[in-house]
Amino acid sequence: MNKTWLITLIILLNSSLVWSKTLDIVVVGLFKNQAVVEINKKQRLLKIGKASPEGVTLISANSRGAILEVEGVHKNYQLGSHIGTIYKQPVEQPTVNIWPVNNQYLVPGSINGYSVEFLVDTGATDIALNKDTARRLGLNYLDGYKLWVRTASDVVPGYGVILDTVQVGDITLHNIPAIVSTGTSSNTILLGMSFLGQLDIHQVGAKMELKKKF
């Protein structure tokens, strides 16, 4: 095979790959079990179960619409509908798996770049920490808004703040509400729903799986 033919073959192969990934489809005629479809400006008469040269297969058709299969995906098309198709693999969102220790789900993470350990608490509205921990993390909590925090035994003053970044494993979220309690001695940081509410949470046996939604 000479060099000219080899270059031509490569161009044709690359063109076919692009063609299969990017299609401009317009339904221009609908009949029972048949459809006239314009694919990348070329008109095709499609019959059920038979693929066009571009790889578009008619699944069903009537006077109201047609179902076409493109790259293994079924889509509904109506007369005159104009759909450009560019298929991309969905982005895999980061996942964190946590196993219980003494019936508690503890997980390392960070707040504004400082390493911490969280206790996962789906019953807590926000991330919650005490004033000593807030100071260690460099939080100017006194500039936050004042509120009252209900503990197991009392109601104590606190402050609402916004954390720039909160990270658990490969999951990083920004601008997360938190509460700093001035009357709590525990250094445990509760990972509440202001963070967890933005994740999908699944329980698989004893394992807790956290996955970023988008």
The residue ranges of every structural domain in the chain are 3-86, 95-212
Alpha carbon distances (Å) from 66 to 34, 82, 120: 8, 13, 49
SS3 label, residue 156 = strand
Q: What angle do CA 86, 90, 94 make, to 5 degrees?
A: 155
Q: Determine which of 22-31, 96-105, 124-133 has the lowest per-residue pLDDT on average.
A: 22-31
pLDDT in tens, 48-68: 888 888 888 999 888 778 888
Q: What is the reported pLDDT for 178?
A: 96
The H or E element containing residue 208 is strand 207-212
The H or E element containing residue 75 is strand 73-77
Q: Is the pLDDT of residue 108 over 90?
A: yes
Q: What is the mean pLDDT of residues 128-143?
A: 95
Q: What is the reported pLDDT for 122?
A: 94
Domain made up of 95-212: CATH architecture: Beta Barrel (2.40)
Calpha distance 184→190 (Å, rounded): 12
